[in-house]
Structure 1
Amino acid sequence: MNSKCIYMVMMAVLRLMLTSAQSCPFHMDIAPCLCTEIGPSPELDMDCSHVVDIDQLMRVFQADFPSTNYRRLSMTGTPDDPIPISFLPDGVFGSITFQEIVIQHAQINRVDDYAFLGSKDTLTMLTLIHSELTSFPTTILPLLSDFRELDLSYNHLVFIPDLRSSSLRSLTLAHNTQLNFSDRVFDEIDQIIDLNIAHCNMETIPPGMFLNMMNLSTVYLEYNKITHLDAASLHFTSEVIEEVVLSGNQISAAEPNFFSGTGKHTYLELLNNQITTLGEASWRPVFHAISEHGDGLVMLDGNPLDCGCSLAWLVTSSSFLSHLALGATCANGTAIHDLNPSAFDHNCGR
C-alpha cells in the first residue's frame, strides 16, 4: 500500500474516532465554521461567522455530518467587517436542518426562494438583520410548518408582498426606510402577536389593516411619517392588545372612529407628535373604551395641546382623566392633570 493510501486510511480512521463519540463533524471538514454541542442531550449549534464567500459556505454543508439536525446557525459580522456574502442560493445548507437561523451584519442582498426549504419542518425563527436585502422570498412562509418569528429589520427592503402563514407569531420589519406594501399585506398572518413596522417612513395606516390579527398584543409604528389617524386606521379585533405605539410621528389630527376593538389593558402611546386638539368626537370614544374596559392608558406627553374649552370634556371627567398619562401638558407647559375642572365648568358652559 503506497503512502497516499496509508494517509487516506489514517484520516478516515481519525475521523471515525473523532465523530463516533460526538455528533459534530470533523472540525477540519467544516472550517471555518464551528460546531458546538449544547446541553446533556446534546443539541448542536453551528457558527459560520468567518466564512469568506458563498462557495466556502456551500462546501461546509457538503461535508460528512453525523447528525443533520441542528438547533441554531449563527453568522455574525460587525458594522466595520460584515460577512462578505451577497446572496443565499437554494440548497445552500445541503441536508442540514435548523430550528433557528441568526444572520447579522452581512452583505446579503438576495435570498433565493427556497434557500431555507431544507428546514421547512424545523425552522421556528429567522433573523436576518443589518444587511442589504431589497426583497425577501415570502413564498417560503406557508411551507414552514412551525415558523414563529421573522426579523428583517435594518435592511433595504423596498416591497413586501402580501404575507401568508398560519404559525407566525412575531414579525419585525423595522428600519427599512423605503418599505412599501399593500393594504392587505397582513390579512393572512392571523396568529401574529407582535408586529413591528417602526422607522419605515410610513405616511398612512390603511383602514382595517389590523382587523384579521385576533391575537395581536403589541404593534409598533413609532418614528414613521404618519400625519393623520384616519377613520378605522386603528381598528382591532384582539382582546389582548397591550401596546399601540405611535410615538415620534407627525400626527396632528385624528378622525372620529379612528380607534376601537382593544382589550382591558391597552396603552395607546402618542408621545412627541404634533397633536394640538383632542376633539371630543374623536377622542371621547377612546377614553370611554379604555376606562370602561380596565386600566389602559393614553400617553400624550410631548404634544402641544390646546387647553381651551375643546378640552373640557376630558378635564371635567375624573374617570377619563385617570386614564391619561401624567406627562401630558398644554402648549404652555401646564400639566393637564393640574388644570382646574371647576374653571372649565364655569367658563365653558358645562
Structure 2
Amino acid sequence: SFASAKIAVHGWLCWGALYLLAAGVSLTSETRWPCPQPCRCNTVLLEANCSHRQLITVPDGLPKDAKLLNLTNNKIKALAQQQFQLLTHILHLDLSDNDLVLIEVEAFLGLQNLLTLHLARNHLKFIPVGAFAGLPKLKILDISSNDILVFLDFTFRDLPALQFLTAADNDVVFISSQAFSGLASLQELHLDGCNLTAVPTEALTQLGGLRSLYLYRLGLTTLLNYSFRHLERLKELVISDCPWLETLSGRSLFGLNLTSLTIQHANLSAVPYIPLHHLVYLVFLDLSFNPITYIHGNQLGDLLRLRELHLVGGSLLRIEIGAFRGLLYLSVAFQSVGTLRNLGLDNNPLACDCRLLWLVQIRPNLDLGGNSPICTASVHFHGLNFLDLGEDELPGVLTCRPARILTMKRQEVRVDQGHTVVFHCNAEGDPVPSVYWLNPQLKPVSSTGRIWALSNGSLEIRFAQPQDSGTYHCVASNAAGNSSLPASLQVRAFPKSFRHPSHLKGWFFPSGTLLIAVTIGLMSFFSSVSVCFIFMFFWSKSKGQIKHTATIAYVPRRAMSSSKGGAGNHTETSRFTMKLI
C-alpha cells in the first residue's frame, strides 16, 4: 500500500541520515593516529616517541604517517626482516642505546624515504650483507660504539645516497676490500679499531668522492706507500691515538690534495718532511702529542699555503734557523717549550703581539743563532726587533685584544620536543678568537651529530629531546683571554593531552580535532535530515492529497494458536490506527 511504501522510504532516509552522520565524523579520521600504549605520539610533529619504555621489540601499531621514530634507551635485541615495512613515511629513525645484537637481512625494507639512521651504543658484532636494503635516500648512518669486528664485502652497497658514516669506537679487525662498494656519495667516514695494523687501502679505493677521513686507535707502526690512493678529493685526514705509529713512508700520502692533516697522539720523533713535500694546498697541520724534538731548517718551504702548525705537547729541543722560511701566512702553536734551547725565527713574517711573550720569558736561556726575530706582519711595528726593547716597553708592544662575544644577551629558548634549535655566538678579538660550545655537562660539543657546533660559531640542536635541556656555554678564546655566554634550552616533553585515553583503544584525539569532528558530524546530520524532509515534501505533493492516518489489520498470536485445534476456520482479527508524520 501507499502507506507501507511511505513508511519504508522514511525508514530508509533515516538510516541514510545516520550513515551521513558517521561519514561526517569519519572525515576527520586522517587526524587520528594509532599509537601503541607505551609510546607518545604527536600529530603536529609527526613523531612517535617510544624512548625509555623498557621495550624488548619494536611495538606494533605505530602510526603510518609518522616521520620521526624514537626508540632510544630500550632493550630491543633484534630487528626482524621487514620490521618497518608499513612505515613508509619515516625520515629519521633512532635506535641508539638498545641491546641490539642482530639485524636481519632487509630489516629496514620499506623505509624508502629514510634520511638518518642511528644505531649507536648497541652490541652489534657484525652487520650482514643486505641489512640496509631498501634505503635509497639514507644520508647519515651512525653505527659507533658497538662491538663490530668485521665489515664484509658489499655491507653498504644499498646506500647510494649515504654522505656521512661513523663507525668510531668499535673493535674492527678486518675490512674487506669491497666493504664500501656502492657508497658513491660518501663525504665523511669515521673508522676505529685497535686491531687494524694497516690502513684498509683497498676498501678506501671505493670512496672516490670522500672529503674527510678519520682513523682512530689503529695498530699502525708505519704508513705504507700509496696508503690513500684514488682519494683525490680527500681534503681532511685525521689519524689519532695510534701509539705505535713511528714513521711515514716517503709516498704514504702520495695522490692526496689535502688542506688539513692531523697526526696526533702517535710516536713520531720527527716531522715527516718527505711525505708532506707535495701537499702544496695544505693549510692546517697538527702534529701535537708526538715526541718531536727538532724542527729542521728549510724543510717546510713547499707548503706555501700553510697557515697553522700545531706542536702542542711535544718534546721540542731545537727549532733551526729557516725552519719556517717561505711560509708567509703561518701561525705556530707551541706548548711546554721550557726545554727549548735553539731557535731560529729570522726571515719569518712575525706578528708582534702577546703570542710572543713566551719567547721573551725564555730569551735568557735561548740561542737564536745570532739572528734576532723582526716584526714584519705588524703594521705598527714593522721592522722592529722587539727583543731590543726594555721590559717597561714590552707591555705596550706585545699586546692583544681579549676575545669578546659581541652580543652578551643571554639566550633562553623553550620548545616542544622534536623542534630544531639554533643558538648564535659571534666574537671578536686580536688575534681572531676561536669559538666553541660546551654542553650542560661542560664537555665540548663536536662538529658532527644531532647536536653540533657550526663553523660560523653557532650551535644547532636538531630534533630536540627533553634530555637535551640545560645550559650550554659559548666560549670565545684567544691568547689574551676568554669570554663565555650561557644559552638555556628547555625542551617540553609531549604533554598528557597528546597521549591517547585508554578507552579510545589506541586512537589519538587532540581536543581541537574532536571538536571539529563533532561539529562536522552534526552539520552533516542536520543537512541530511533537511534533505530528507524536503525530498519527502515534494514527492508527496506530486502524489495528491496526503493521508495522515493508516489502519492496519493483524491477527493476534493467541487467536492463531487456538484456531489450530478448533473445528472452524474463523480467525479473529484486530485493527489499529497509526498517525503518519
Tell whether the structures are fold-level matches, with TM greater than 0.5.
Answer: yes
1:124 aligns with 2:120: no
CA distance in 2, matches of 1:185, 1:167: 16
CA distance in 2, matches of 1:321, 1:284: 12
Equivalent residue runs for 1:176-195 within 5 Å: 176-195=170-189
Of Structure 1 and Structure 2, the greater strand share is in 2
Contact 1:207 1:231 in 2 (8 A): no
CA distance in 2, matches of 1:329, 1:320: 25
Match of 1:167 among 152, 161, 169: 161
CA distance in 1, matches of 2:314, 2:60: 64
1:252 aligns with 2:234: no
Letter in 2 for 1:235: R
State the 1:87 CA deviation. Answer: 0.9
1:145 aligns with 2:129: no
Aligned to 1:113: 105
Match of 1:75 among 71, 75, 89: 71
Q: Secondary structure at the match of 1:76?
A: coil
State the 1:18 CA deviation. Answer: 11
Contact 1:99 1:123 in 2 (8 A): yes
1:33 aligns with 2:39: yes
Which digits, 9 at most, give the CA deviation of each residue in 1:50-75, with x for residues without a partner? 444446x34334xxx5xx23211111
State the 1:131 CA deviation. Answer: 0.9
State the 1:215 CA deviation. Answer: 2.2
Contact 2:175 2:200 in 1 (8 A): no
Contact 1:214 1:237 in 2 (8 A): yes
Contact 2:176 2:203 in 1 (8 A): no
Contact 2:79 2:103 in 1 (8 A): yes
Match of 1:223 among 217, 226, 229: 217
Structure possessing the higher radius of gyration over alpha carbons: 2
State the 1:269 CA deviation. Answer: 0.2
CA distance in 2, matches of 1:179, 1:70: 38
Number of equivalent positions: 302
CA distance in 2, matches of 1:212, 1:345: 50
Contact 2:246 2:267 in 1 (8 A): yes
Aligned to 2:94: 102
Which digits, 9 at most, give the CA deviation of each residue in 1:107-164, with x for residues without a partner? 1111111221121x21222111111112223414353221222111111112221231
CA distance in 1, matches of 2:43, 2:145: 31
State the 1:331 CA deviation. Answer: 3.0
Give the gaps of 5 or more residues in structure 1: 1-12, 78-82
Aligned to 1:243: 236
Aligned to 1:331: 315
Q: Secondary structure at the match of 1:134?
A: coil
Aligned to 2:60: 59
Contact 1:312 1:345 in 2 (8 A): no
CA distance in 1, matches of 2:259, 2:306: 14
Contact 2:46 2:67 in 1 (8 A): yes
Letter in 2 for 1:172: T
Letter in 2 for 1:186: F
Contact 1:303 1:329 in 2 (8 A): yes
State the 1:260 CA deviation. Answer: 3.1
Aligned to 2:33: 24
Which digits, 9 at most, give the CA deviation of each residue in 1:91-118, with x for residues without a partner? 3335122222111111111111122112
CA distance in 1, matches of 2:190, 2:100: 22
Contact 2:78 2:101 in 1 (8 A): yes
Q: Secondary structure at the match of 1:331?
A: coil
Give the gaps of 5 or more residues in structure 2: 1-21, 325-341, 347-366, 371-581
Q: Secondary structure at the match of 2:31?
A: coil
State the 1:242 CA deviation. Answer: 3.2
Q: Secondary structure at the match of 1:268?
A: strand
Aligned to 1:262: 256
Contact 2:108 2:134 in 1 (8 A): no
Aligned to 1:8: none
Aligned to 2:190: 196
CA distance in 2, matches of 1:225, 1:233: 15
Letter in 2 for 1:202: L
Which digits, 9 at most, give the CA deviation of each residue in 1:255-313, with x for residues without a partner? 121113334x621101221111345543323xxx2x3x3x52221122112427xx344
Aligned to 1:90: 81
The change in CA–CA distance for 1:197 and 1:326 in structure 2 (over 3 A counts) is closer
Q: Secondary structure at the match of 2:264?
A: coil
1:156 aligns with 2:147: yes
What's the TM-score once normalised by structure 1's chain length? 0.74
CA distance in 1, matches of 2:289, 2:247: 15
